[in-house]
Chain A
Amino acid sequence: MNTKYTLPQNLPVIDRLITQSMISDYSKVSNDFNPIHLDSTFAMKAGFDTTIAHGMMALSYISEMMTSAFDTKWATTGKLKVKFRSPVLSGESIETYGELLRTSHDDNLNKAFYKVGINNKNGGLVITGEATICY
């Protein structure tokens, strides 16, 4: 067991203002041109105040938080399981959170389990879930 590695209790917060320009760029990267992300009139007909960001785009910030905390351990041992609770609207600010839940030692692997997620500026849940790394 690696006893030298100190796990952070709380993970660094990543915050972003999600703009329509970012959402439009992400549409090109993901090849997802659903008008709910690009056309505010369509999005309003679907029941939103304006366009919404792709769920995977928001999820990127949890991965950025995990990379920031664990460097390449995240890219080599990370696991993530999340639910998308509510959409991120264009023009909305979001921030990530991550808090150590527990650790385990199974099959010669030290594992750390973190409660992770994203809230919007009003404290509303955007993404909730759990991330695991081996250390």
Chain B
Amino acid sequence: MSTSLLQRSPEGGREFDPYFVPDDWARLQYGRLLWRSARTRERLLAHWSDPRHPYAERFLARYRPLVERLLESEEADNERLDAELRAEGHSLRTIMREIPPVFGDFY
């Protein structure tokens, strides 16, 4: 694993990582899990596209393809994805943060 990813992910050297946000990693881990089923995938997409969702506008306008790319990947892909995203001006961490949360009152 590259040193740069180690510094940014909790997979190693976590105590030195000021950017570790458990909620971001939870949205990635469980988003990937629920993405496997067409039913829950559609439900998430409908929720994230709902005009009441605070992320909806930027999700639909900009981040949907990148978020989908993350959710279609697996944990073992993290390092490769991070490198690819960095080459495109993003990073695993910044796109992970664009996975919209779920709001229980209209999910």
Asked if chains A and B come from one complex, the reply is no
Give A contacts to B, CB under 8 Å: none
